[in-house]
Protein backbone atom coordinates (compact mmCIF):
# COMPACT_ATOMS: atom_id res chain seq x y z
CA UNK A 1 0.00 0.00 0.00
CA UNK A 2 1.27 3.49 -0.86
CA UNK A 3 1.53 5.38 2.44
CA UNK A 4 4.61 7.47 1.76
CA UNK A 5 5.17 9.26 -1.56
CA UNK A 6 8.04 11.38 -2.82
CA UNK A 7 6.85 13.96 -5.37
CA UNK A 8 9.20 15.65 -7.85
CA UNK A 9 7.43 18.63 -9.34
CA UNK A 10 7.09 22.43 -9.34
CA UNK A 11 4.93 22.52 -6.22
CA UNK A 12 4.80 26.24 -5.55
CA UNK A 13 1.80 28.18 -4.31
CA UNK A 14 -0.31 30.29 -6.64
CA UNK A 15 1.17 33.37 -4.98
CA UNK A 16 4.69 32.10 -5.73
CA UNK A 17 3.67 31.28 -9.29
CA UNK A 18 2.24 34.76 -9.87
CA UNK A 19 5.53 36.27 -8.66
CA UNK A 20 7.50 34.29 -11.26
CA UNK A 21 7.26 34.43 -15.04
CA UNK A 22 8.44 30.80 -15.25
CA UNK A 23 5.75 29.19 -13.05
CA UNK A 24 2.14 28.49 -14.04
CA UNK A 25 -0.73 29.17 -11.60
CA UNK A 26 -2.74 26.36 -13.24
CA UNK A 27 0.02 23.87 -12.41
CA UNK A 28 0.07 25.14 -8.83
CA UNK A 29 -3.69 24.72 -8.51
CA UNK A 30 -3.62 21.16 -9.89
CA UNK A 31 -0.77 20.14 -7.58
CA UNK A 32 -2.49 21.71 -4.59
CA UNK A 33 -5.55 19.55 -5.22
CA UNK A 34 -3.60 16.41 -6.09
CA UNK A 35 -1.14 16.49 -3.19
CA UNK A 36 -3.72 17.69 -0.66
CA UNK A 37 -5.98 14.83 -1.77
CA UNK A 38 -3.16 12.36 -1.17
CA UNK A 39 -2.54 13.81 2.28
CA UNK A 40 -6.26 13.60 3.07
CA UNK A 41 -6.03 9.93 2.09
CA UNK A 42 -3.37 9.48 4.79
CA UNK A 43 -0.36 9.50 2.47
CA UNK A 44 2.80 11.13 3.82
CA UNK A 45 3.88 13.43 0.97
CA UNK A 46 7.36 14.91 0.64
CA UNK A 47 8.30 17.24 -2.20
CA UNK A 48 11.53 17.95 -4.04
CA UNK A 49 11.39 20.83 -6.52
CA UNK A 50 13.42 23.62 -8.07
CA UNK A 51 12.74 27.29 -8.71
CA UNK A 52 12.40 27.93 -12.45
CA UNK A 53 14.43 30.77 -13.92
CA UNK A 54 15.36 31.85 -17.41
CA UNK A 55 18.75 30.56 -18.52
CA UNK A 56 21.78 32.77 -17.96
CA UNK A 57 22.47 35.45 -19.20
CA UNK A 58 18.74 36.32 -19.11
CA UNK A 59 18.51 34.73 -15.66
CA UNK A 60 20.92 34.24 -12.73
CA UNK A 61 24.01 32.06 -13.02
CA UNK A 62 23.10 30.18 -9.85
CA UNK A 63 19.59 29.57 -8.53
CA UNK A 64 19.44 29.12 -4.74
CA UNK A 65 17.52 26.39 -2.99
CA UNK A 66 15.26 26.54 0.04
CA UNK A 67 13.54 24.44 2.68
CA UNK A 68 9.88 25.21 3.18
CA UNK A 69 6.46 23.74 2.62
CA UNK A 70 3.63 23.56 0.10
CA UNK A 71 0.27 23.78 1.84
CA UNK A 72 1.71 22.09 4.92
CA UNK A 73 3.70 19.42 3.07
CA UNK A 74 7.51 19.60 3.44
CA UNK A 75 9.25 20.89 0.30
CA UNK A 76 12.94 21.00 -0.55
CA UNK A 77 13.85 23.24 -3.48
CA UNK A 78 17.30 22.32 -4.79
CA UNK A 79 19.99 24.83 -5.84
CA UNK A 80 21.56 24.51 -9.28
CA UNK A 81 23.80 26.12 -11.87
CA UNK A 82 21.63 27.88 -14.45
CA UNK A 83 24.04 27.94 -17.40
CA UNK A 84 23.27 26.54 -20.89
CA UNK A 85 24.69 23.06 -21.34
CA UNK A 86 25.10 22.63 -17.59
CA UNK A 87 21.69 23.26 -16.04
CA UNK A 88 20.17 19.81 -16.58
CA UNK A 89 23.24 17.95 -15.29
CA UNK A 90 23.39 20.24 -12.26
CA UNK A 91 19.71 19.71 -11.50
CA UNK A 92 19.93 15.93 -11.93
CA UNK A 93 22.81 15.78 -9.44
CA UNK A 94 21.10 18.07 -6.92
CA UNK A 95 17.87 16.10 -7.16
CA UNK A 96 19.67 12.84 -6.43
CA UNK A 97 21.49 14.36 -3.46
CA UNK A 98 18.26 15.76 -2.01
CA UNK A 99 16.46 12.43 -2.46
CA UNK A 100 19.29 10.51 -0.77
CA UNK A 101 19.22 12.92 2.20
CA UNK A 102 15.46 12.52 2.57
CA UNK A 103 15.68 8.74 2.43
CA UNK A 104 18.47 8.75 5.03
CA UNK A 105 16.65 11.08 7.44
CA UNK A 106 12.96 10.22 7.00
CA UNK A 107 13.03 6.72 5.49
CA UNK A 108 12.50 5.31 2.02
CA UNK A 109 9.16 6.20 0.40
CA UNK A 110 6.85 3.56 -1.03
CA UNK A 111 6.95 5.20 -4.45
CA UNK A 112 8.33 8.20 -6.30
CA UNK A 113 6.12 10.20 -8.68
CA UNK A 114 6.96 13.08 -10.98
CA UNK A 115 5.29 16.00 -12.70
CA UNK A 116 5.95 15.13 -16.36
CA UNK A 117 9.28 13.68 -17.51
CA UNK A 118 11.70 16.58 -17.89
CA UNK A 119 15.07 14.86 -18.35
CA UNK A 120 16.79 15.80 -15.03
CA UNK A 121 13.65 14.88 -13.08
CA UNK A 122 13.13 11.62 -14.98
CA UNK A 123 16.81 10.75 -14.60
CA UNK A 124 16.69 11.23 -10.82
CA UNK A 125 13.49 9.18 -10.61
CA UNK A 126 14.94 6.28 -12.59
CA UNK A 127 18.02 6.10 -10.41
CA UNK A 128 15.95 6.40 -7.23
CA UNK A 129 13.68 3.58 -8.40
CA UNK A 130 16.69 1.33 -9.06
CA UNK A 131 18.62 2.26 -5.92
CA UNK A 132 15.78 1.91 -3.42
CA UNK A 133 13.63 -0.67 -5.20
CA UNK A 134 10.51 1.50 -5.40
CA UNK A 135 8.24 2.19 -8.39
CA UNK A 136 8.53 5.44 -10.36
CA UNK A 137 5.20 6.82 -11.58
CA UNK A 138 5.33 9.80 -13.96
CA UNK A 139 2.17 11.90 -14.16
CA UNK A 140 1.86 13.32 -17.68
CA UNK A 141 -0.07 16.56 -17.46
CA UNK A 142 1.05 17.53 -20.94
CA UNK A 143 3.59 16.37 -23.47
CA UNK A 144 4.64 17.13 -27.01
CA UNK A 145 2.49 15.27 -29.57
CA UNK A 146 3.51 11.62 -29.90
CA UNK A 147 5.22 10.57 -33.09
CA UNK A 148 3.97 7.67 -35.17
CA UNK A 149 5.15 4.93 -32.82
CA UNK A 150 5.06 6.95 -29.57
CA UNK A 151 8.86 6.64 -29.36
CA UNK A 152 9.29 10.19 -28.00
CA UNK A 153 6.84 9.47 -25.16
CA UNK A 154 8.28 6.02 -24.45
CA UNK A 155 11.79 7.46 -24.18
CA UNK A 156 10.69 9.88 -21.46
CA UNK A 157 8.90 7.25 -19.38
CA UNK A 158 11.64 4.61 -19.74
CA UNK A 159 12.01 2.87 -16.38
CA UNK A 160 8.55 3.80 -15.10
CA UNK A 161 6.42 1.17 -13.37
CA UNK A 162 3.22 2.81 -14.60
CA UNK A 163 2.03 6.11 -16.06
CA UNK A 164 -0.80 8.47 -15.08
CA UNK A 165 -2.37 10.39 -17.96
CA UNK A 166 -4.54 13.45 -17.51
CA UNK A 167 -5.51 13.28 -21.17
CA UNK A 168 -8.24 10.76 -21.93
CA UNK A 169 -6.99 10.49 -25.53
CA UNK A 170 -3.44 9.72 -24.41
CA UNK A 171 -4.71 7.16 -21.89
CA UNK A 172 -6.67 5.35 -24.61
CA UNK A 173 -3.95 5.45 -27.25
CA UNK A 174 -0.60 5.17 -25.45
CA UNK A 175 0.94 1.70 -26.01
CA UNK A 176 1.56 1.19 -22.30
CA UNK A 177 0.34 -1.73 -20.22
CA UNK A 178 0.23 -0.09 -16.77
CA UNK A 179 -1.61 3.22 -17.03
CA UNK A 180 -4.27 5.19 -15.21
CA UNK A 181 -6.55 8.01 -16.37
CA UNK A 182 -6.84 10.69 -13.71
CA UNK A 183 -7.62 14.17 -14.98
CA UNK A 184 -8.29 16.54 -12.07
CA UNK A 185 -10.63 17.09 -9.15
CA UNK A 186 -12.37 19.46 -6.78
CA UNK A 187 -11.90 19.81 -3.04
CA UNK A 188 -15.57 19.33 -2.22
CA UNK A 189 -19.07 19.33 -3.67
CA UNK A 190 -20.25 22.97 -3.81
CA UNK A 191 -23.57 24.19 -2.49
CA UNK A 192 -26.39 24.81 -4.92
CA UNK A 193 -26.62 28.52 -5.76
CA UNK A 194 -29.53 30.36 -4.19
CA UNK A 195 -29.92 32.47 -7.31
CA UNK A 196 -28.56 32.55 -10.84
CA UNK A 197 -26.69 35.73 -11.62
CA UNK A 198 -27.57 37.52 -14.86
CA UNK A 199 -24.53 39.76 -15.27
CA UNK A 200 -23.99 39.06 -18.99
CA UNK A 201 -20.29 38.70 -18.09
CA UNK A 202 -18.17 35.95 -19.65
CA UNK A 203 -14.94 35.11 -17.81
CA UNK A 204 -11.80 33.62 -19.31
CA UNK A 205 -8.90 32.86 -16.99
CA UNK A 206 -5.67 31.26 -18.12
CA UNK A 207 -2.60 31.63 -20.27
CA UNK A 208 -2.86 33.88 -23.31
CA UNK A 209 -1.14 31.56 -25.77
CA UNK A 210 -2.58 29.80 -28.81
CA UNK A 211 -3.05 26.49 -26.93
CA UNK A 212 -5.57 28.20 -24.66
CA UNK A 213 -7.64 29.57 -27.54
CA UNK A 214 -7.64 33.26 -26.65
CA UNK A 215 -7.50 34.19 -30.35
CA UNK A 216 -10.70 32.24 -31.03
CA UNK A 217 -12.42 33.89 -28.09
CA UNK A 218 -11.50 37.39 -29.23
CA UNK A 219 -12.79 36.64 -32.72
CA UNK A 220 -15.98 35.17 -31.26
CA UNK A 221 -16.96 38.13 -29.08
CA UNK A 222 -18.10 40.44 -31.94
CA UNK A 223 -20.28 37.57 -33.19
CA UNK A 224 -22.16 37.12 -29.88
CA UNK A 225 -25.71 38.44 -30.30
CA UNK A 226 -26.90 38.47 -26.66
CA UNK A 227 -27.40 42.14 -25.69
CA UNK A 228 -24.92 43.45 -23.11
CA UNK A 229 -22.49 40.52 -23.32
CA UNK A 230 -18.99 41.43 -22.21
CA UNK A 231 -15.79 39.44 -21.74
CA UNK A 232 -13.41 39.68 -18.79
CA UNK A 233 -9.97 38.16 -19.38
CA UNK A 234 -7.41 37.39 -16.68
CA UNK A 235 -4.05 35.79 -17.32
CA UNK A 236 -0.60 36.54 -18.66
CA UNK A 237 1.67 35.84 -21.58
CA UNK A 238 0.42 36.28 -25.09
CA UNK A 239 1.89 37.88 -28.17
CA UNK A 240 1.99 41.60 -28.86
CA UNK A 241 -0.88 41.10 -31.30
CA UNK A 242 -3.04 39.35 -28.70
CA UNK A 243 -2.38 42.09 -26.16
CA UNK A 244 -3.26 44.73 -28.76
CA UNK A 245 -6.52 42.98 -29.57
CA UNK A 246 -7.36 42.60 -25.88
CA UNK A 247 -7.03 46.36 -25.55
CA UNK A 248 -8.97 47.21 -28.71
CA UNK A 249 -11.81 44.66 -28.97
CA UNK A 250 -15.14 46.17 -27.89
CA UNK A 251 -16.78 44.70 -24.77
CA UNK A 252 -13.51 43.12 -23.59
CA UNK A 253 -11.83 43.98 -20.29
CA UNK A 254 -8.31 42.66 -19.77
CA UNK A 255 -7.19 42.63 -16.13
CA UNK A 256 -3.83 40.84 -16.43
CA UNK A 257 -2.73 38.36 -13.77
CA UNK A 258 -4.82 38.51 -10.59
CA UNK A 259 -4.49 36.95 -7.15
CA UNK A 260 -6.69 34.09 -5.99
CA UNK A 261 -9.23 36.19 -3.99
CA UNK A 262 -9.77 38.41 -7.04
CA UNK A 263 -10.23 35.38 -9.29
CA UNK A 264 -12.81 33.97 -6.87
CA UNK A 265 -14.69 37.29 -6.92
CA UNK A 266 -14.60 37.52 -10.72
CA UNK A 267 -15.88 33.94 -11.00
CA UNK A 268 -18.77 34.75 -8.66
CA UNK A 269 -19.63 37.84 -10.71
CA UNK A 270 -19.56 36.02 -14.07
CA UNK A 271 -22.60 34.48 -15.70
CA UNK A 272 -20.70 32.16 -18.05
CA UNK A 273 -17.16 30.73 -18.00
CA UNK A 274 -15.26 30.19 -21.26
CA UNK A 275 -12.72 27.51 -22.18
CA UNK A 276 -11.94 27.94 -25.91
CA UNK A 277 -8.93 25.58 -26.06
CA UNK A 278 -8.74 24.58 -29.75
CA UNK A 279 -8.88 20.92 -30.75
CA UNK A 280 -6.74 21.45 -33.84
CA UNK A 281 -3.60 22.86 -32.19
CA UNK A 282 -0.86 20.26 -31.90
CA UNK A 283 -0.26 19.20 -28.31
CA UNK A 284 -3.77 19.78 -27.02
CA UNK A 285 -4.60 16.11 -27.49
CA UNK A 286 -1.99 15.28 -24.84
CA UNK A 287 -3.42 17.30 -21.98
CA UNK A 288 -6.59 17.92 -20.02
CA UNK A 289 -7.51 21.55 -19.24
CA UNK A 290 -7.66 21.20 -15.46
CA UNK A 291 -9.39 24.57 -15.16
CA UNK A 292 -12.44 22.87 -16.70
CA UNK A 293 -13.20 21.24 -13.33
CA UNK A 294 -12.29 24.46 -11.54
CA UNK A 295 -14.87 26.21 -13.74
CA UNK A 296 -17.49 23.50 -13.20
CA UNK A 297 -17.15 23.73 -9.42
CA UNK A 298 -18.68 27.22 -9.66
CA UNK A 299 -21.91 25.55 -10.95
CA UNK A 300 -22.11 28.20 -13.67
CA UNK A 301 -22.58 27.31 -17.34
CA UNK A 302 -19.22 26.45 -18.91
CA UNK A 303 -18.78 26.97 -22.64
CA UNK A 304 -15.97 24.82 -23.93
CA UNK A 305 -14.50 23.02 -26.86
CA UNK A 306 -14.19 19.28 -26.36
CA UNK A 307 -10.53 18.58 -27.04
CA UNK A 308 -9.44 14.93 -27.36
CA UNK A 309 -7.99 15.00 -23.84
CA UNK A 310 -11.45 15.61 -22.31
CA UNK A 311 -13.28 12.41 -21.36
CA UNK A 312 -16.65 11.84 -23.14
CA UNK A 313 -18.68 12.15 -19.94
CA UNK A 314 -18.00 15.90 -19.77
CA UNK A 315 -20.12 16.50 -22.87
CA UNK A 316 -23.35 16.26 -20.89
CA UNK A 317 -22.46 18.88 -18.25
CA UNK A 318 -21.04 21.69 -20.39
CA UNK A 319 -22.22 23.87 -23.26
CA UNK A 320 -20.04 22.47 -26.07
CA UNK A 321 -18.91 24.42 -29.10
CA UNK A 322 -19.58 22.49 -32.30
CA UNK A 323 -16.08 23.21 -33.63
CA UNK A 324 -12.97 25.36 -33.19
CA UNK A 325 -14.33 28.28 -35.20
CA UNK A 326 -15.12 31.72 -33.81
CA UNK A 327 -18.71 31.35 -35.05
CA UNK A 328 -19.09 27.97 -33.35
CA UNK A 329 -17.83 29.34 -30.05
CA UNK A 330 -19.97 32.49 -30.31
CA UNK A 331 -23.07 30.37 -30.87
CA UNK A 332 -22.25 28.31 -27.78
CA UNK A 333 -21.79 31.49 -25.73
CA UNK A 334 -25.21 32.71 -26.87
CA UNK A 335 -26.77 29.38 -25.90
CA UNK A 336 -25.26 29.65 -22.42
CA UNK A 337 -26.27 33.29 -21.94
CA UNK A 338 -29.90 32.57 -22.91
CA UNK A 339 -30.46 29.51 -20.72
CA UNK A 340 -33.63 29.83 -18.66
CA UNK A 341 -33.49 29.61 -14.86
CA UNK A 342 -35.01 26.13 -15.06
CA UNK A 343 -32.35 25.02 -17.52
CA UNK A 344 -29.57 26.46 -15.37
CA UNK A 345 -30.88 24.65 -12.29
CA UNK A 346 -31.04 21.37 -14.22
CA UNK A 347 -27.49 21.86 -15.53
CA UNK A 348 -26.06 22.65 -12.09
CA UNK A 349 -27.75 19.52 -10.76
CA UNK A 350 -26.01 17.41 -13.40
CA UNK A 351 -22.67 19.01 -12.50
CA UNK A 352 -23.18 18.33 -8.79
CA UNK A 353 -23.96 14.69 -9.51
CA UNK A 354 -20.91 14.39 -11.79
CA UNK A 355 -18.53 15.91 -9.24
CA UNK A 356 -19.81 13.78 -6.39
CA UNK A 357 -19.56 10.51 -8.34
CA UNK A 358 -15.80 10.53 -8.77
CA UNK A 359 -14.25 13.93 -9.28
CA UNK A 360 -13.54 14.83 -5.65
CA UNK A 361 -9.79 14.95 -5.13
CA UNK A 362 -10.01 12.37 -2.37
CA UNK A 363 -11.83 10.02 -4.74
CA UNK A 364 -9.22 10.56 -7.43
CA UNK A 365 -6.29 10.00 -5.10
CA UNK A 366 -7.87 6.87 -3.59
CA UNK A 367 -8.07 5.49 -7.13
CA UNK A 368 -4.41 6.35 -7.62
CA UNK A 369 -3.35 4.73 -4.33
CA UNK A 370 -5.21 1.50 -5.12
CA UNK A 371 -3.67 1.32 -8.61
CA UNK A 372 -0.14 2.39 -7.61
CA UNK A 373 -0.07 -0.14 -4.79
CA UNK A 374 -0.12 -2.94 -7.40
CA UNK A 375 2.98 -1.64 -9.25
CA UNK A 376 6.52 -2.93 -8.90
CA UNK A 377 9.77 -1.17 -9.82
CA UNK A 378 11.05 -1.78 -13.33
CA UNK A 379 14.47 -3.32 -13.86
CA UNK A 380 15.42 -0.69 -16.45
CA UNK A 381 19.11 0.17 -16.80
CA UNK A 382 19.56 3.91 -16.35
CA UNK A 383 23.32 4.06 -17.05
CA UNK A 384 23.00 5.58 -20.50
CA UNK A 385 20.84 8.45 -19.27
CA UNK A 386 23.24 8.89 -16.38
CA UNK A 387 26.09 9.39 -18.82
CA UNK A 388 24.10 11.86 -20.85
CA UNK A 389 23.44 13.94 -17.75
CA UNK A 390 27.05 13.88 -16.56
CA UNK A 391 26.44 11.81 -13.46
CA UNK A 392 29.92 12.53 -12.13
CA UNK A 393 29.66 16.29 -12.67
CA UNK A 394 30.85 18.30 -9.62
CA UNK A 395 28.12 20.93 -10.11
Q: Is the pLDDT of residue 391 over 70?
A: no
Weakest-pLDDT range from 14-18, 53-57, 71-75:
14-18
**206: DSSP letter:** S
Q: Is the pLDDT of residue 390 over 60?
A: no
Q: Which superfamily, per CATH, for 4-184+364-388?
A: Glycogen Phosphorylase B; (3.40.50.2000)
- pLDDT band at residue 395, thresholds of 50, 70 and 90? low
- pLDDT band at residue 24, thresholds of 50, 70 and 90? confident
Tell me the C-alpha distance between 218 and 25, whole Å: 22
Task: Assess whether the region 4-184+364-388 and the region 201-356 belong to the same CATH fold.
Answer: yes
Tell me the C-alpha distance between 211 and 277, whole Å: 6
> Which pTM value belongs to this model?
0.92
Residues 65-109 have pLDDT tens digits of: 999 999 999 999 999 999 999 999 999 999 999 999 999 999 999
Q: Can you tell me the mean pLDDT for 247-273?
A: 94
Domain ranges of the chain: 4-184+364-388, 201-356
**pLDDT at residue 221, rounded to an integer:** 96
CATH 3.40.50.2000 correct for 201-356: yes
Tell me the C-alpha distance between 329 and 333, whole Å: 6
**pLDDT at residue 210, rounded to an integer:** 85
- Helices assigned H by DSSP within 226-284: 240-248, 260-269
Amino acid sequence: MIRKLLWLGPAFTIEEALASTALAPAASRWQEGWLSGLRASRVDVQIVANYSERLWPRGPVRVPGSIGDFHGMPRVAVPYVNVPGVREASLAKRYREAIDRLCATTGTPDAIASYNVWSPVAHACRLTSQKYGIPWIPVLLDHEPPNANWANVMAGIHGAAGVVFLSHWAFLNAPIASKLHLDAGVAGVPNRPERHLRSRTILYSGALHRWGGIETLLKAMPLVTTPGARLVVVGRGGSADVLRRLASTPSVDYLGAVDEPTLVRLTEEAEVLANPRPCGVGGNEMNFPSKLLHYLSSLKPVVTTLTPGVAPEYAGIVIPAIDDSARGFADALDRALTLSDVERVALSGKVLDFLGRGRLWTQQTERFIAWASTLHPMAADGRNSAKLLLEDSPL
